[in-house]
């Protein structure tokens, strides 16, 4: 399949995966041929890109990093009416364990962000990615605390307004204070509480609370890093950034906003370009076939033009070091 921006869709394009709404309903099924009205509807729903069937791209694996079933369960758990209590906390811990099992199954792949079409709204996509990314980061730095940090990410979205209106925004000071009080009252583990308390800290001491450097709890650092990175990609109050640009922005804050170690780990696990995206390499055009876990910014690509047209190229190989992806290809077709 090819991941195609909405403004490049044309009537007759066939959807390669099912499109969901934020409450789990199926909006468009896999295999449906789009017409002009459907394309307008997708744009109104705020879906930035859709996977479509494309000749020669049939073998590209687009299995999401978090399954639709887990996304639905996360949304239902977070939106469920009533206060946070011990029973709800245990349900959240079970969800995190299920998410952890899924993450272990895909460790051979880099972390490719879920697309909005898979979750149905910008906020729910951000939220599901947040839980998965925090756990993947923790696996690199403190694997014994992976589920605790994942639970802090899950609790971050408990009754968040974005679950209702789909808008991505930081927790207000009042909402965060109320959440932390509820988490403490239901006796969540100390690492979970501390991660939430410290996630707005910044490495140079400019955050809240004004802790600095190693004074910041590691789980809070990872939650704050993942939150900042993903908000750039799924932000709704201004134009969202492509993943590769958001990664560059966050890396620019290494040593100021976040620890150098945490930012380096992010760069080593996140895929700047997703499977199915068409990218440019100077004058060459290629499609990303696979993003390996050991070097996510050097994926396996299929060349689409030039002298190497039709060849599969592994950018990790020594003889391919002069080939550098410069961005996402902006047109539907290439010469």
Q: Assess if residue 289 is contained within a domain.
A: yes
Residue 80 placed within a domain = yes
Assigned domain for 58 exists = no
Residues 224 and 168 in one domain: yes
pTM of this prediction?
0.94
Do 111 and 249 fall into the same domain?
A: yes
- SS3 call for 314: strand
DSSP 8-state symbol, 237: S
Residue 305 covered by a domain: yes
Predicted confidence (pLDDT) per residue in 9-23, tens digit: 999 999 999 898 887
Considering the domain architecture, whether residues 106 and 238 belong to the same structural domain is answered as yes
Q: Is the domain of 87 the same as that of 25?
A: no
Q: What pLDDT digit, counting tens, does each position of 177-204 carry?
A: 999 999 999 999 999 999 999 999 999 9
Asked if the model's pLDDT at residue 104 lies above 80, the reply is no
Q: Are residues 149 and 239 in the same domain?
A: yes
The answer on 159 and 239 residing in a single domain is yes
Nearest to 171 by CA among 241, 189, 129, 162: 162
| Residue at 134 is within a domain | yes
pLDDT at 105 over 80: no
Least confident of 100-104, 143-147, 156-160: 100-104
Report the candidate in 113, 131, 136 with the shortest Cα–Cα distance to residue 3.
113
Show the domain range for 102.
Answer: 68-269
Q: Residues 187, 250: contact at Cβ < 8 Å?
A: no
What is d(CA 93, CA 294) in angstroms, rounded to the nearest whole number? 29
Give the CATH number of the domain where residue 256 resides: 1.10.3210.10
Residue 133 pLDDT exceeds 70: yes
Residues in CB range of 71: below 8 A, 6 or more apart = 114, 118, 119, 124, 128
| pLDDT band per the 50, 70, 90 thresholds, residue 95 | very high
Token digits of residue 241 = 């950034």
From 269, 286, 304, give the residue that closes a domain: 269
- Verify that 287 and 230 share a domain, yes or no: no
**Count: domains in the chain:** 3
The Cα 40–Cα 6 span in angstroms is 9
User: Which of 243, 269, 295 is the last residue in one of the domains?
Assistant: 269
Q: Are residues 264 and 285 in the same domain?
A: no
Q: Using alpha carbons, select from 195, 94, 83 the residue that is nearest to residue 142.
A: 195
What is the crossing angle of helices 260-269 and 218-234, to 10°? 50
């Amino acid at each position: 399949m090819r991941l195609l921006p909405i403004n490049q869709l044309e009537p007759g394009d066939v959807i390669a995966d099912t499109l969901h709404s934020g409450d789990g309903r199926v909006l468009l099924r896999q295999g449906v041929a789009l017409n002009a009205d459907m394309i307008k509807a997708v744009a109104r729903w705020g879906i930035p890109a859709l996977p479509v069937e494309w000749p020669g791209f049939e073998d590209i694996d687009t299995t999401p990093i978090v399954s639709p079933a887990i996304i639905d369960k996360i949304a239902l758990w977070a939106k469920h009416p009533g206060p946070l209590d011990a029973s709800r906390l245990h349900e959240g811990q079970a969800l995190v364990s299920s998410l952890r099992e899924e993450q272990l199954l895909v460790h051979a792949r880099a972390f490719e962000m879920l697309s909005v079409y898979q979750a149905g709204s910008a906020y729910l996509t951000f939220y599901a990615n947040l839980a998965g990314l925090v756990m993947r980061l923790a696996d690199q730095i403190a694997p014994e605390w992976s589920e605790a940090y994942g639970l802090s990410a899950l609790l971050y979205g408990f009754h968040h307004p974005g679950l209702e209106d789909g808008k991505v925004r930081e927790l207000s000071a009042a909402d965060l204070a109320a959440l932390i009080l509820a988490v403490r009252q239901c006796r969540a583990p100390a690492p979970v509480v501390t991660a939430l308390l410290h996630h707005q800290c910044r490495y140079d001491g400019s955050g809240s609370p004004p802790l600095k450097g190693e004074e910041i709890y590691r789980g809070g650092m990872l939650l704050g890093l993942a939150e900042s990175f993903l908000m750039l990609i799924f932000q709704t109050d201004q134009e969202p950034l492509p993943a590769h640009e958001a990664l560059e922005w966050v890396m620019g804050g290494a040593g100021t906003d976040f620890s150098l170690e945490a930012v380096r780990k992010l760069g080593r696990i996140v895929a700047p370009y997703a499977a199915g995206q068409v990218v440019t390499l100077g004058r060459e055009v290629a499609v990303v076939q696979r993003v390996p876990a050991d070097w996510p910014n050097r994926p396996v690509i299929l060349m689409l033009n030039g002298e190497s047209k039709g060849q599969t190229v592994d950018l990790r190989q020594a003889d391919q070091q002069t080939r550098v992806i410069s961005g996402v290809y902006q047109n539907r077709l290439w010469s």
